[in-house]
Amino acid sequence: MDSLFDFFYLLPFSIGLIVGFLYIAFGGRGAHEVIYKYPHPTTVDALVYKDPNGACYRYRVQEVNCDANEGKLKEYPLQ
């Protein structure tokens, strides 16, 4: 039975590993991906948001009676 090292070539493996590291470090989207978080009543206290100007802010939850404020309600499309 052949050894595993008979099928393993160090030079192509090393080149592929180096190219992969360079792609991730300089061109990949892995660590540079932007994650959008929207406020939700259950997580509003745990999240701090940052606007494009660098200012940090939080949202507050305030329960209101929808029937009493029906004239102020607006349609909100799903995202």
* Domain-located, residue 78: no
Q: Strand ranges (DSSP E) for the chain?
A: 49-50, 56-57
Q: What is the pLDDT of residue 16?
A: 95
What are the backbone dihedrals phi and psi of residue 49, each rounded to the nearest 5 degrees, phi first? -105, 155
Considering the domain boundaries, does residue 1 fall inside one?
A: no
**How many domains is the chain built from?**
1
Mean predicted lDDT score pLDDT of the chain: 81
pTM, whole model, 2 decimals?
0.39
With beta carbons less than 8 A apart as the criterion, state whether 39 and 47 touch: yes
34 in any annotated domain: yes
Tell me, yes or no, whether 63 lies in a domain: yes
In a domain, 75, yes or no: no
| Higher-confidence position of 39 and 2 | 39
Residue range(s) defining the domain that contains residue 64: 7-69
Residue 11, in any domain of the structure: yes
Q: What is the largest CA-CA distance in the chain?
A: 81
pLDDT for residue 64 is more than 70? yes
25-31: average pLDDT: 68
Spatial separation of the C-alpha atoms in residues 62 and 75, rounded to whole Å: 19
Domain membership flag for residue 48? yes
